[in-house]
Amino acid sequence: MNRELVRALLAAVCMTTALSACVQTDGGISNVNAPPAMLGGKAAPPSDRSLSIAVRQALDKAPGFNVSGVFVRARDGAVILTGTVHSADQIRQAEQIARTVPGVLVVVNKLTLWHGGNG
């Protein structure tokens, strides 16, 4: 009877592992074999990394905007801006620029003013 119990437990572990591997998806797409652009006839949303890069590049191209203290994170179309800038106008400007990037759905602006010192 102990052998039967061990076999049943091993079978359950194998089934659970196989099932979880089948259920895992890539970026919320349930059919991993189909190209993302072909699912539902819609273009695939940009990856979080590529969206972050696109927003940062857009900020870098803005005339007079210093992007060196700005950090951009993206998750499922939501962009979070953190770090410091040199003026309140740049805080607003960064949010406006980020909203124009294709794929951005929401912008959370946590930028603050750089106070220029060690304390």
**Residue 102 CB partners (closer than 8 Å, separation 6+):** 46, 54
Q: Are 110 and 80 in contact (CB under 8 A)?
A: yes
Instruction: List the structure tokens of 42.
Output: 């819609």
pLDDT value for 116:
74
How remote is the C-alpha of 29 from its chain's centroid? 15
pLDDT in tens, 49-98: 999 999 999 999 999 899 999 999 999 999 999 999 999 999 999 999 99
Cβ partners under 8 Å of residue 23, min gap 6? none
- Average pLDDT over the chain reads 76
At residue 107, does pLDDT exceed 60?
A: yes
Instruction: Write the single-letter amino acid at 62.
Output: A
Q: Which domains does the chain have, with CATH numbers?
A: 48-113 (3.30.1340.30)
